[in-house]
Amino acid sequence: MWPTRDLQAISRAVMGSSDPMVDPPLAVMKDGVSKLDEAVKEKSIQIEELKTARAQDYVKMQEEVMETMVNTHEEMKGDLQQLQKQMSIRMANLAIVCSHTANGVSKVHSELLKAKLFKDLYELWP
């Protein structure tokens, strides 16, 4: 158990004291903490600015892609508007669009993909 006198010394060290042995190290520690706090705040502001800029870039890119698709393929306008409302994309469609080529397991499977499952995409990019 700590003697009361030691608890009082700790309390003075934390709250501020007039003891010449405690004040200088305490001041250095407080200064270091405040500088660290300022650096962390500055970095967090920079990170938030980068996140905002990146989000704006994504929005701009999405608008450009949608505009290009609608201008190029007027018949897809309804599909694209529906896609914007739902905000969901089937992963298979995304994989096809982002890939250089795609094929089925067999010739029959490839024909099935072209004729049924990815018909719209195949018409755009045969």
pLDDT in tens, 86-110: 677 777 777 777 777 777 788 888 8
- The whole-number pLDDT of residue 79 equals 66
pLDDT in tens, 6-47: 655 666 666 555 555 556 666 677 777 788 888 888 888 888
Higher pLDDT: 49 or 13? It is 49
Name residues whose C-beta falls within 8 Å of residue 118's C-beta, 6 or more positions apart in sequence.
92, 93, 96, 102
Is the pLDDT confidence value at 123 over 60? yes
- The whole-number pLDDT of residue 32 equals 76
- Residue 73: which pLDDT band, with cuts at 50, 70 and 90? low
Distance between CA atoms of 9 and 17, rounded to whole angstroms? 9
Which H or E run includes 3? none
Is residue 86 classed as helix, strand or coil in its secondary structure? Answer: helix
- The whole-number pLDDT of residue 10 equals 64
Higher pLDDT: 21 or 126? It is 126
- The whole-number pLDDT of residue 11 equals 60
Is the pLDDT confidence value at 60 over 70? yes
